[in-house]
Amino acid sequence: MVRLCSSSPTRASILREHGVDFIQSKVDFDEESLPYTNGAHFVYHASKGKMSSALNLYGVEEMPLLTADTVVVSEDGEILRKAGDEDEAYRILERLSGSAISIVTSLHFHSKGGIFSDLSSTGYEFSTFESSDVERYIRSGEWRGKAGACMVEGFCKKYITSFRGLESTAMGLQIERLIPWLNL
């Protein structure tokens, strides 16, 4: 049994799909206080900060702790965070349309048997998004809570022209890298 210290339904779904027993508990960490403009540095320190908060709340006596954070990084290196409203989601999706991005996820796993950290990136190239699809996606609200308003497993999937890396990394939890550590 693992304590997933994240409110992400996608991370919970990934664990379920891989047969990992878990409970889900949100931890508070102020990501906005982080000064990093590099996507990899940002997610590493965000997931590490979440782990510090989780350790303060729960320790590892009861069960192992798992934290993660994900950002989308544009071709020019800008971190595209979660959109705050529909206008911001439109602006972000305009940047993604017909471009290349990296989705960077950092995870931290802490158990009695050891500590594991992983920083992974998956790159995508997209064709140009159809405006009617963008409209439907925005109205659906599925972009809410998603880094870069991006769902590579949903809206963006039909526009992917190429990718390199693990799809699970892009979805917010590189489960293939975590599984060997779950039985320690």
Instruction: Tell me which of 21, 28, 30, 69 is the catalytic residue.
Output: 69
Interatomic CA distance for residues 111 and 32, integer angstroms: 27
Residues with Cβ within 8 Å of 68's Cβ and at least 6 positions away in sequence, in order, are 6, 8, 11, 47, 50, 105, 106, 107, 108, 172, 173
CB 107 within 8 A of CB 129: no
Residues with Cβ within 8 Å of 14's Cβ and at least 6 positions away in sequence, in order, are 168, 171, 172, 173, 175
Is 69 one of the catalytic residues?
Answer: yes
Sign of CA dihedral 115, 48, 84, 163: negative
Angle among Cα 112, 115, 120 to the nearest 5 degrees reads 145
CB 11 within 8 A of CB 69: no
- Which residues are known catalytic residues? 69
